[in-house]
Amino acid sequence: MLLSVLVTGLAIGALYASTALAFNVMYSTSKVLSVATGHLCMLGGVFGAYFIQTLGLPIIVGFVGALMVGVIAGYLMELITVRRIINRSDEHLWLLSTLALATMIQQSVALWWGTEPRPFPRVIPQEFGAGMADQKYWLPVVALIVIAIGLELFYRLTMYGKVFIAVSEDAFAARARGVPTNRIRAASYMIAGLIGALAGFAAGQLTFAYFALGHVLTLMGFIAIAVGGLGSNLGAVVGGLLLGVLSSLVSYWFGGEYQNTIAIGVLIIILIVRPEGLFGSKRVRHV
């Protein structure tokens, strides 16, 4: 029994971790934490279900389609809510603009797709009696592994990746050297959209295609970041998995009604005790 609790926890934790990685990618080039991060995952799940189940498209087509939706959503997010805002002196505006976008995405999906969680189709042929080996548990984990390794390779091996790192360390200097920071930022948001949609698609059978996932995932992804340390991908993965397992254990011991409460409790404790997270670094502010 405990094993199945752990398996569920890892699966949902993998989704949280993937969301956290998407956060990190966007943060790295823009210093913005988008409220709509979780909505990228939600879109992957909803559109995956829409393409495959409603439209009857082949699974691989639906998969690619869902990823494309994520990429486009990421691009629009950067274009609409970040690019124009980022130069303004008011620090909080991006919070408002991404919140506005998150609301718009959530509500339009609610109006179109409906407010009930709808089932997500089987991605790989498998019997439903597979228990813990059911794909709804290991697909999200596989997705996380693919994303995490993909990001590592991207940052280390590709030119683009190295430029990302340069921009994240000093955007001003990067721009002075002629790096097209707008394009880099847009690219990073598209990558985040890809990550989110992939994670959301992979976890679709676990979460169902549900319009309200956005805020929950944003919150959980954020808690994973807070625990693991902003900017640290390792921290995002560790934080997300820990959070997922903890949620699952709490559900098992106390019942599912306390999931959010416990998660937030963890957040509060971490923020008081070690605000920079497990793997983060303290930041100095210059006057």
255 near other proteins, rule: CB under 8 A: yes
Partners of residue 118 on adjacent β-strands: 209
| Residue 48 · residue 120 · CB < 8 Å | yes
Which listed residue (74, 231, 259, 279) binds other proteins by CB under 8 A?
259
Residues 6 or more apart whose CB falls under 8 angstroms from that of 278 comprise 227, 228, 229, 235, 238, 239
Measured from the CB atom, the residue of 127 and 257 that comes closer to other proteins is 257
Tokens 């793997």 belong to 279
Measured from the CB atom, the residue of 160 and 254 that comes closer to other proteins is 254
66 burial (CB, 10 Å; 0-12 / 13-18 / 19+) is buried
Q: How far is the CB of 107 from other proteins (least distance, A)?
A: 4
Q: How far is CA 234 from the centre of its chain?
A: 14
d(CA 214, CA 140): 17
Measured from the CB atom, the residue of 42 and 143 that comes closer to other proteins is 42
Binders of other proteins: how many residues, by CB under 8 A?
46
Site string for other proteins, 260-279 (x = CB under 8 A): xx-xx--xx--xx--x----
5 near other proteins, rule: CB under 8 A: no
Give SS3 for 238: helix
Instruction: Provide the binding-site residues for other proteins, judged by CB under 8 A.
Output: 33, 35, 80-81, 84-85, 88, 90-93, 95-97, 99-104, 106-108, 111, 215-216, 218-219, 222-223, 226, 255, 257-261, 263-264, 267-268, 271-272, 275, 284, 287
